Amino acid sequence: MALQFVVPFVIIGISYRSIWSFLNARRIVRERAVETTKEEFVKAIPFLRRKIPTNGRVRVVTG
Interior angle at CA 24, CA 20 and CA 25, nearest 5: 120
Model-wide pTM > 0.85: no
- At 12 the pLDDT is 96
Read off the DSSP letter of residue 46: G
The reply to whether 51 falls in a domain is no
* pLDDT tens-place string over residues 5-21: 899 999 999 999 999 99
The reply to whether 63 falls in a domain is no
* Confidence label for 3 from pLDDT (cuts 50, 70 and 90): confident
The reply to whether 29 falls in a domain is yes
- At 34 the pLDDT is 77
Burial (CB < 10 A; 0-12, 13-18, 19+), residue 58, is middle
The reply to whether 9 falls in a domain is no
Greater pLDDT, 61 or 63 = 61
Per the structure, the complete domain to which residue 31 belongs is given by 14-43
Total number of domains constituting the chain: 1
* pLDDT tens-place string over residues 25-46: 999 888 887 777 777 766 666 6
The reply to whether 8 falls in a domain is no
